[in-house]
Structures are given as structure tokens and as C-alpha cells.
Chains A and B, each alone.
Chain A
Amino acid sequence: MSKDAFVDAGLYLPQTGRIVAIEQCTVNEKFFRLELTRPLQHRPGQFVMVTVPGMGECAISITCGPREDNILEMVIRRVGNITAVLHGLEVGDTLGIRGPYGAGFDLEEFYQRDVLIVAGGLGLVPLRSLLLPMIAAHQRFGAITIITGARSPAETLFRHELADWREKENVRIIELVDSTDHYQWDGEVGMVTAPIGSLVLDKNRTMVVLCGPPVMYKFVLLELEAHHQIPATQIFVDLERRMRCGVGKCGHCQINQAYCCQDGPVFRYSDIQNYPEGLA
């Protein structure tokens, strides 16, 4: 082993972030804004490892766009141990943050292209880090189509932002819920796969980004294949796996040859389409 390889002695030590804002998004999801000691300097699609001191650590997507200041934004769903503790925190409390990790998106690759975003459930959370800079510079892109899906109106995220984005001339937003229980729901009802067939997409200039629960990918890809034949090199999928270290050492997030934490969580579909475990 080379003695002079660059080794960051602090690889596993978090930096401190102070919570400056919390919003309850849905029953199970909360939005957190943190102030860090130094800027994250992340790319869209990256994630951080969040430490609750003495409790544990988990992977959380960065939901804000790239920025110069020390701010980090996250949306956290309460599913278990650490996330439950996170939900109990208040403004002023501190957390440990490591990262940013993961490959993320190269925004420039999307310039001058049409973009189709399909986000199921929490999928909008990581993709927001891509969408925010995209919308901010929307003139640099072709048509931007965003399809979001949630189980019910109560579980939708970022509706106000979506409403703002809709104002841009080249942005189209389709909001869906699986079923509705609320008379005020003004979006559509159905699965995220439903509108895909009727979209008009130029397979040569459309970039597609997918993020959602494990079951979603297969069906969306089938629809895309059936109607648009967009090359796999132009499709990105944002995957989730169990993760313990975030830096390619703990082995948990392996997807066949790939490590979700390092090669992903955003993968070019062509890179993993032959991985049987990829979209399982």
C-alpha cells in the first residue's frame, strides 16, 4: 500500500450543522435547513451522511441546489430509528454532517436538451437539487417536463414551488396522486406511468431522470421504451440502498458491480441496465 496516497484522516468525522429551520411537509416528512461550518460545494444528486450524536447515522439526499453559502437543505421521512430522532429535533439543535458523497448529475450535460423528470414519492427530494438550478437557468434548456406522483394529496411535496416553476414558459408540470380523498385536489389521478405515453418527446434530444420507490423504475422504463425509445445513455436513475459509510467501504450498497454510494446514487441507465439487481 502506497505510503503517500492522499488520506483524509477525518473521513469518518462529521462537521457540525445547526438547524435553522424546520417545516412539516407531510405527516411523515419534515424539511430541515441547516447552517454548516463550511460550504458543502455539492453537485445536484449528491447526498450527505447525517449523524445524530450518540445515536447513529443515515444517508440523506441534498435537496437544495448547489450554492455558495453554508446552507444545507434536506427532507427526511420518518421510517425508523434515526429518522425518528431527527423528527424530534428543534431549531437550534445540531447534527453531524459528512459529505457530500456520490457521483451526482453533471448539469451541463442537460444544457440545450429537453428534460423529462419522473419523481415518485420521496423521489422529488433528491431531484429538487437538480431542478432548482435548472429552473433558475431555464432558458438554457429545452422543454422541461416534470411528472410527480404521490399516494394521496396529503403526501405531496413542494407544491408551492411546483406552482412557481409552472409559470416558466418551457416548464410543464404534471402532478398525480394514486387516488384522492380530497375535493380540492387540482392535479391528476393515476400512476406516474400514465401520462408518459401521450408525451411528445424527441428521443434524440430528451434527457430523462427517474427517482422513486424500487417498483417504479421498471414500469416507467417499460412505458418509455414502448413509446419513445430514448437511448439508455440519456436516462438517469437515482437509486437507494442500505448504506453505512457512504464512501465505498462498508459494502452494503453494492449493486452487482457498482457501489451505489460512489458510482451512484445517480446512475446512467446504460451503465446499469445489465445489472440484474439494479432495478430489482
Chain B
Amino acid sequence: MNQPGTTIIVVELSYQLCHSSAIGLEALRVTVDKLARAYGFLWALRDLNLDLTPGQCVALLGPNGAGKTTLLKLLSGLITPTTGEIRFDGVIFSRSMPELRARVGLLAPSDHLYDNLTARENLTFFSRLYKQSVVPESLDSALEQVGLAERAGDYVANLSSGMKCRLSIAKWMLLQPELLLVDEPYGVLDGSGIRLLENFLKHQCTCGSIVVMASHHVSRALDLCNRVVILSQGRLSFNEAKRQPWPAFETAFSEFLPHGGS
């Protein structure tokens, strides 16, 4: 793929395993080969091949209906592929593998929280669900980091969607998934929220996790990520590590968005 002779600065992937759950476990590597998914007879995603290595922070771009959400759902195990398979360290990821699901997370901004439980109870519930033991202090420190310390006792129903997103971030901070999928988070977050999210995602990547973020905020996603994947009509049209300068990306990207896309 690299054109010979041009000076290329490839963003180096450096990571060292630092989050607790990964100690003793070799960092998770996700391979996707000939993945396809059809709804009824319509192909939402066709013969997709990906190789996600630890430390990658992938920006998943593409127009509406390109298959971004389908890919996220497939990677998170919510839906099963029609053909092809997803392998975690060579092991096929299927619903009969609960322990593999413990290593995957899907950050849906204001979803996946119980409205009638308080913020703290939500965190307790999900951390007990994913892990045996739960240290109360870690809950408080997570809430502290996302700035919800004083709202710990409030019901989630009374929180604003921005605060719900912060609570989801706190949740995944606690659960430390090795593959974190993020579905268009920028819609609800304010300035400090976005900084908080991006620091968290960067921290995850430097700790050897894989982050795949689907978004329409191209400029933001580009700053954050070290790899870009573009989908259109269910097919992979671009998959390259970030580099300066990046002509290939401009051409691939301009195909489906009017020039100067947001």
C-alpha cells in the first residue's frame, strides 16, 4: 500500500498492558474474515475482512446505511453473522462463549442504564455482572473521574442525557473491556465531556485495548484515531493506518461525502 520514496510518518503503536483485567492475558486480537450479514435477503454487510490488533483506535466512517451499526452489533455479539466469522485470539466468537463477551463493551451514549436505579446502583449491578468482586472505592473513583460524584444517589431517569453518557463512560472505565465499541458519542456530550471521553479512549488504546468508534464527526474522529475504516453500501472501501500526509484517505473519503464534509 505504501508508495515507495515518499516520506511517511506512521503513527507508532506503542502500548503496554496496564489495566487490571488484562494482567496474565495476552492482549486481545480480533480478526474478522469474510464477514457478512443479511437482514431477510438484503445484504447489510458483505465479505468484510479486518484485523484489529491491540492498541488500535479505529474510526469507523461512512454514510448512513453503510453498515457501521451492523458491524458494531456484530463485533459486540448482539447479532450473529450470516456468513463468515469473528475470532478473538483465534477462537470463534459465538453466543455460547460468555467469557469472551466479558471482554467486549459497547458504549451507547444514553442507553444500557436502568432508569429507576441510582447511578451508583447501576455501576454496582453491571460491575457485579461482569466481574466477581466489586470494590466500592473503585465505584466512587469512577464517578469522581466523570464528574458525577455528587449525583451518585440520583436516579438515572433524572439525569440529563449528557450525564447518562458520562455514567456509561464510568461504567466502561470500571469494566475495562479489551474491545470497546463506541456508537456516535458526540451527539450528547458537552466540551468537558468530549475531552473526558477522548482521554478515556486514548488511555484505553495505550493500555492495549482496541477501540472502534463509529461517528459522523470526521474531524474529531481523525484526531483521536490511529486507523480509519470506511464502509459504503456494506463493503469495506478503505482501511489504513493514519499517516501524514494522507492522500489515499482524501480520495477514499471524498467519494461519498460532498467535499468539506462535517
Q: Say if A and B assemble together.
A: no
